[in-house]
Amino acid sequence: MAQDKPPQDLMHYEAMAQDALRGVVKAALKRAAAPGGLPGEHHFYITFKTKAPGVSGPPEVLGKYPDEMTIILQHQYWDLAPGETFFTVTLKFGGQPKRLSIPYAAVVRFFDPYVQFGLQFEPPEAFDLAEEGEDFDHEDEAAPAAEAGEPEAKVVSLDQFRKK
């Protein structure tokens, strides 16, 4: 019996699922931007591709993170403005306020450690991933690194964030 090729997904369901789950990030940011800010002890770790189309910020900040950068929205963030396709926020780097603009499509991980909720996304296809073999140190007071060696998931995986 001949093996048939699997059918081609002309609907692009994976991309639609990724976009829908990025809507969770947008909704969480809208809630954080509302009067009163983040409720309770909620806070967010947001990792994004710094070279993704539409990412903007001070070159001296983005230049330190040639692949990915993780920002924390907890106590010291200002002017959080979630839009339809991107969000902007002011954070302190080296004690100085700096404005970042990040498209939701550039976000590769979202994590709220208070409730152990996280999402991992497939990086956008519009730009190259980190160059092979390079390992960057992402330590910074306002943007600590995501854990090195995390597997890239093809589909959004919540398993790594579930309580065991």
CATH domain 41-161 topology? SH3 type barrels. (2.30.30)
pLDDT of the residue at 3: 73
pLDDT of the residue at 122: 86
Domain ranges of the chain: 41-161
Below-50 pLDDT ranges, the chain: 128-158, 161-162, 164
Sign for the pseudo-dihedral over CA of 12, 13, 14, 18 = positive
Q: In what order do the strands lie in the sheet with 86-93?
A: 78-82, 86-93, 96-103
CA distance 107 to 50: 9
Residues 6+ apart with CB under 8 A from 119: 21, 24, 25, 109, 110, 111, 156, 158
86-93 and 107-112: which strand pairing? unpaired
State the pTM of this model: 0.73
* Residue pLDDT, tens place only, 36-78: 899 999 999 999 999 999 999 999 999 999 999 999 999 899 9
